[in-house]
Copies of this chain bind each other. A is one copy, B any other.
Amino acid sequence: MRQSQLFTKTRREAPKDEVAKNAQLLIRAGYVYKEMAGVYAYLPLGFRVLEKIKNIVREEMNAVGGQEMIMTGLQNPDVWKKTDRWDDEKVDVWFKSELKSGGEVGFGWSHEEPITEMMKQYLSSYRDLPQYVYQFQTKLRNELRAKSGIMRGREFVMKDMYSYTTDEEAHKKIYGSVIDAYIRVFDRVGLGDRTFLTFASGGAFTKFSHEFQTISDVGEDTIYVHDAKKVAVNKEVYDEPVVYEELGVKKEELREVKAIEVGNIFDFAGIKSEQLGLYYKNEAGEEMPVHLGSYGLGITRLMGVLVEIFADDKGLVWPEAVAPFRVHLVQLGTEDEVKTEAEELYRELTGNGVEVLFDDRDVRAGEKFADSDLIGIPQRVVVSQKTLTEGKFECVDRQSGTTSHKSLSELISYLTHA
């Protein structure tokens, strides 16, 4: 895409009321727009990053047999009353309103209840199981404070998956597959080495739940990691000896770090199904509650975490897999031959399937480089009088800062085979 046609512009300053680094940089670089505290619109660059993250997650959810669908934002109180989660005393993040036709209505902050209620239409026999269903849904949560940018908004995008199985054994199988799928997601977006499968408290249904936590100084959680085993323990359960039995590690081997929760996995066993009335007939003809697992992964939060982890003092730095474009093509100077060469390179690269943001604007070099650093596309390719004379383009890796010079064929080969 041509930068001259992109409606967003970079800004020198973030809004004064924005304290989170991720939102500050994303606003300055034109990825997001702050609608209200904790409520952000995603502009063309930000929208592209979100879609890249979603597609990675989608591929991994499909690979474990997930069926994509989309639940509703509007929520029926009757369904939530069955599990005692409608009351504001029990759940403090509801947005609620009144239907003109009469009665209350809620706005979805989670979807375990409605999707389990829905499944009563479709699941009645052991032959109907297992089923794995997921969605990318915009969730609304009436948070009292919003101060972590897009990492904890009042409106955010989440991937939520639900597994419906006959029993604990079948549940453990999909549970393990989704953990593996999550590990692949975090590897693919470049967070694999600092993201830990973490033991946390399990709430009413099970002794423990699992989280994925990414080590980060801005994290709100404290966890204790075991580097060799690549597992961690949330502070909530740090003092429970049974954790160490299960993990097969010693408490003293762990180190304390700050971390941010990027995914969570709950085992509801048959409890929610019993509350909502989702039963199946087993092979012996007995009515049994369906075993429910719930698997969350915050899409917009993950984008915020990537900013917090990889950004440097010049601006954003995107891992290749989620960058809005692969190449930032920067044309320096407006001489005819530079223009022609830049246009031709733009055509060549896009013709070879490379996603390019083409800075064809008529602004000075310093501004172009500063914008390019701020926007953070992995590879910058410069076309100028100088590079024309040399017969090679200047290529700068955003993350390492390494500069190289490549001919057209070298560049295409590098970008399409990497």
Contacts and interface: CB of A to CB of B under 8 A. Distances in A.
Interface of A: 5-9, 11, 30, 33, 35-37, 39-44, 46-47, 50, 65, 67-76, 92, 95-97, 99-101, 105, 107, 114, 118-119, 121-123, 128, 131, 133, 138, 140, 142-146, 154-155, 164
B73 A138 contact: yes
A256 to B, nearest CB: 32
Nearest to A137: B138
B41 A76 contact: no
Nearest to A124: B9
Contacts of A33: 118, 121
B7 A67 contact: yes
Contacts of A121: 9, 11, 33
A7 B133 contact: yes
A interface SS class: mixed
A76 B36 contact: yes
A367 to B, nearest CB: 15
Contact of A144 (B35, B70, B101, B144): B101
A342 to B, nearest CB: 20
Contact of A74 (B39, B47, B72, B100): B39
A74 B155 contact: yes
Contacts of A65: 5
B41 A69 contact: yes
Contacts of A122: 7-9, 30
A72 B37 CA distance: 12
Contacts of A72: 35-36, 39-41, 155
Nearest to A66: B44
Contacts of A75: 35
A100 B144 contact: yes
A286 to B, nearest CB: 22
Contact of A7 (B9, B71, B101, B131): B131
A101 B36 CA distance: 12
A336 to B, nearest CB: 21
Contacts of A43: 69
